[in-house]
């Protein structure tokens, strides 16, 4: 009986003290059967009627002068009535239903496997440029074209395949090994990428055009991919090798005594956006519009279920306002700062060359400190430049 009450709806009533007997006699005379009768005190009871008959019970009690109090309503009809009185909730339920139906038509996630040195973030950006991203329309998605675009657009990738499993795209890649090309091997020359004096020309494919001691300029041809043979005539190849040369590089670092220093005002605010597929809608914002200069910290979190990322998430953007104030270095501080910046620059460049000698000149004037560093190094100056035969 309880499930029937929940299905059809019920109403619990309580007669006024002292009239419980009169109320039960009224129900018997009217042919109404109260259910789940229980005593709540001396001369007081509570009972339950179906929602369809309680109106008649209340009217009969009113005609007989019996005071009834409705203590509780429940069941499916009552729940549906409460929902329908909230248009926002109804709209949300309808939207959820529509999204559930439409979700089979859109891509929920992208999973990448096989990458070792290429960052997944870079691959996702390249896939998005090719048309594969969370929220892509599945019926219009050409996975073969996406894989081909990924191979053409990134020389680090030798193989790529995109497979759809439900609403998830699984991207399998294989990175190109050293000396391996992802596409067809076109003929190429070796060209100098900077001025220098040749110290060791090591050409193992193509025709070497320089020798030790030659002075070359940037853009000069070092090794040709055109070979003139006696038996087969002119043929083309892809010139390859290393052309080591002694090069000279000059680095200039200037640090002024007067500079602008960042000082935070203490005013901070944030924005929270709801992310659904590729849509971005702000749902929370504090303290008005952004003004002035700000440090910005962005953080995105996607919801996941069972280890699988869902296309629903939140993006939080934190703003911290600051102003620029004038500050001043002493001569010693400016010199230390200049050497710090010069060291960072030289460290970044040292991976591609072997330093033979270095000379640093310091110039101090009324405005700041200037370091002029001249570096003599040995490096591979050969750059591969492809060409076509037409």
Whole-model pTM?
0.51
Q: How far apart are CA 145 and CA 130, in angstroms?
A: 8
> What count of Cα atoms within 13 Å lies in the side-chain half-sphere of residue 297?
7
Q: What is the pLDDT of residues 311-320, one digit of tens each?
A: 777 888 899 9
Q: What is the pLDDT of residues 64-79, one digit of tens each?
A: 888 888 888 888 777 7
- DSSP SS3 for 59: helix
Q: What is the pLDDT of residues 322-340, one digit of tens each?
A: 999 999 999 999 999 999 9
Which CATH entry fits the domain spanning 105-175: 3.30.465.10, 3.10.20.310, 3.50.30.30, 3.30.2010.10? Answer: 3.10.20.310
Task: Return all residues near 183 (Cβ < 8 A) that are at least 6 apart.
Answer: 151, 152, 155
Q: Is residue 181 predicted with pLDDT exceeding 70?
A: no
- Enumerate the β-bridge partners of residue 254: 370
Q: Is residue 102 predicted with pLDDT exceeding 70?
A: no
Task: Return all residues near 390 (Cβ < 8 A) that are at least 6 apart.
Answer: none
Domain spans of the chain, in order of start:
2-81, 105-175, 186-257+329-390, 258-328
Which CATH entry fits the domain spanning 2-81: 3.30.70.260, 3.40.50.700, 1.10.1780.10, 3.40.50.300? Answer: 3.30.70.260
Residue 158 pLDDT level (bands cut at 50, 70, 90): confident
Mean pLDDT of 60-65: 85
Q: What is the pLDDT of residues 126-142, one digit of tens each?
A: 998 888 887 788 888 88
Q: What was the pLDDT predicted at 252?
A: 95
When comparing pLDDT for 174 and 80, which is higher? 174
């Amino acid at each position: 009986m309880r499930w029937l009450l929940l299905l059809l709806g019920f109403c619990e009533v309580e007669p006024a003290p002292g009239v419980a007997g009169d109320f039960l006699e009224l129900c018997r005379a009217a042919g109404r059967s109260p259910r789940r009768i229980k005593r709540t005190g001396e001369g007081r009871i509570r009972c339950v009627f179906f929602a369809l008959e309680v109106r008649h019970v209340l009217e009969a009690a009113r005609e007989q002068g019996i005071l009834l109090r409705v203590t509780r309503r429940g069941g499916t009809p009552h729940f549906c009535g409460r929902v329908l009185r909230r248009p926002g909730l109804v709209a949300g339920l309808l939207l959820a239903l529509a999204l559930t139906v439409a979700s089979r038509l859109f891509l929920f996630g992208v999973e990448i496997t096989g990458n070792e040195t290429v960052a997944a973030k870079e691959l996702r950006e390249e896939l998005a440029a090719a048309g594969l991203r969370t929220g892509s329309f599945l019926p219009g998605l050409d996975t073969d074209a996406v894989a081909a675009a990924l191979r053409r657009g990134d020389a680090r990738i030798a193989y790529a395949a995109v497979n759809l499993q439900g609403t998830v795209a699984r991207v399998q890649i294989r990175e190109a090994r050293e000396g391996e090309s992802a596409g067809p091997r076109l003929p190429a020359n070796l060209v100098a990428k900077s001025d220098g004096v040749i110290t060791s020309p090591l050409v193992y494919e193509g025709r070497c055009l320089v020798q030790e001691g030659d002075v070359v300029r940037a853009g000069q041809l070092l090794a040709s991919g055109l070979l003139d043979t006696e038996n087969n005539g002119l043929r083309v190849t892809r010139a390859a090798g290393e052309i080591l040369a002694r090069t000279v590089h000059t680095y200039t670092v200037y640090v002024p005594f007067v500079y602008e220093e960042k000082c935070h005002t203490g005013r901070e605010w944030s924005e929270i956006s709801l992310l659904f597929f590729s849509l971005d809608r702000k749902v929370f914002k504090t303290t008005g519009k952004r003004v002035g200069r700000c440090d910005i910290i962005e953080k995105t979190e996607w919801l996941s279920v069972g280890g699988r990322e869902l296309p629903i998430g939140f993006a939080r953007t934190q703003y911290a306002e600051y102003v620029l104030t004038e500050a001043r270095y002493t001569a010693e501080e400016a010199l230390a700062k200049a050497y710090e910046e010069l060291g960072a620059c030289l460290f970044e460049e040292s991976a591609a060359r072997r330093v033979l000698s270095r000379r640093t000149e310091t110039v101090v004037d009324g405005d700041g400190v200037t370091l002029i560093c001249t570096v003599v190094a040995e490096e591979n100056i050969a750059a591969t430049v492809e060409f076509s035969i037409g």
